[in-house]
Amino acid sequence: MNTPHTLDIDTPSGTTRRGFLAGAGAALVVGFTLPHAGRALAAEASFTPNAWLRITPDNRITVICGSAEMGQGVLTAIPQLMAEELDADWTTVRVEQAPANTAFNNPAFGMQATGGSTTVRGHWDVMRNAGATARAMLVAAAAEQWKVPAAECRTEAGQVIHGGKKLSYGALAEAAAKQKPPEKVALKDPKDFRIVGQRKARLDTVGKTDGTAMYGIDVNLPGMLVAVMARAPLPGAKVAKLDDSKAKAVKGVKQVISLPTGVAVLATGYWAAKKGRDALQVDWDLGANTGLNSAKVTAMLTEAASAPGAVALQAGSADAKGAKTVEATYEAPYLAHACMEPMNCTAWVKPDGVEIWAGTQSQGPVQGILSQVASVDPGKVKVNTMMLGGGFGRRFAPDFVIDATLLSKISGAPVKLIYTREDDMAAGFYRPASVIKFSGGLSADGKATVLNAGVGSPSIMAASGFMKIPDNGVDTFAMEGIADHPYDIANQRLAYGRKEPGPSVWFWRSVGHSQNIFFMESFIDEMAAAAGKDPYQFRRTLLDKQPRYKQVLEVAAEKAGWGKPLPAGVFRGIAVAQSFGSYVAEVVEVSVNADGSPKVHRVVAAVDCGMTVNPAIIERQIEGGIVFGLTAALYGKITLKDGRVEQGNFHDYPVLRHNEMPRVEVHIVKSTEKPGGIGEPGTPPIAPAVANALFAATGKRLRSLPFDTAQLKKA
Q: What are phi and psi of 259, to 5 degrees?
A: -125, 170
Residue 427, pLDDT score = 81
User: Looking at residue 235, what is its pLDDT?
Assistant: 84
Report the run of H or E that residue 628 belongs to, with start and end. Answer: helix 615-634
> What's the confidence (pLDDT) of residue 540?
98
Cross-strand pairs, 226: 267, 416
362: nearest Cα among 580, 127, 106, 125:
106
User: ∠ CA(597), CA(603), CA(609), 5° rounding?
Assistant: 140
Regions of the chain where pLDDT drops below 50: 1-43
**Residue 44: per-residue pLDDT:** 55
Residues 6 or more apart from 395 whose CB is under 8 A from it?
68, 70, 339, 343, 359, 360, 361, 362, 388
Nearest partner of 704 among 223, 304, 334, 314, judged by Cα: 334
pTM: 0.93
The DSSP result for 33-89, as a single string, is PPGGGGGGGSPTT-EEEETTEEE-TTS-EEEEE-S--SSS-HHHHHHHHHHHHHT--
